[in-house]
Structure 1
């Protein structure tokens, strides 16, 4: 079977299932986007990765999209999706939508719920709304980003 240039291979892993290369690559991707690209100094290694399901999107063996998901009570009272990230050069390939669909499906399968909460940057509201999320609460600054 051959993959088209837009195929994203998605795997779901617990923290214990991650190998060293995968952990390094996903942390590198998160750092590239959240720290360097967004010019935001914050503590990415927050001790929550160990509780999360890691939704990993690879293309040609390299991690290019990622989220981490939590069961209800581990982050918010509801199940949660966080650290949604796609490598800059792949953002026009629809990988953000693919990784979000896979994340919602993983929460449904692993945690048996479709009630999911996330905290999102304001400019991404339309993206999350397209996946059925609704805006609640007031806008706020987190790490200097609305």
Structure 2
């Protein structure tokens, strides 16, 4: 025989389950950003937010930086050795000192210094196969601050930012 207090307790404990609602679907407002908004090209390869809050976008026709209001475009200028090495950028990585490393397709690796607003190209020793830097596909920083990167050609390379040569 079931006692009335036991049934009452069971109903009291089960009552919240009857009041549960099905989880609501979360909907986000999406805005499409295009060349009309300032991107240099419509296909974005990578996105990074740096420690200063800027958003960086790699494209096949330049590197773009956004402050949330406007874009600044960085493109190769053959007359300026401090410009980015090429327009087709693929990958971004920010190091512990705020330097931005950019994989530039067919050119290798560049470092952007936000303090000087200049790009430095990583030079490889004579005899280095182009496959070692032609298409960089991963960039990471090691515990000593050296920058490690791999390329599609299955090469692993390391650069010490304190000695970019």
TM-score, normalised on structure 2?
A: 0.24
Report the TM-score, using the length of structure 1 for normalisation: 0.26
Higher relative contact order (CA 8 A, sep 6+): 1
**Greater percentage in strand:** 2
Higher fraction of helix:
1
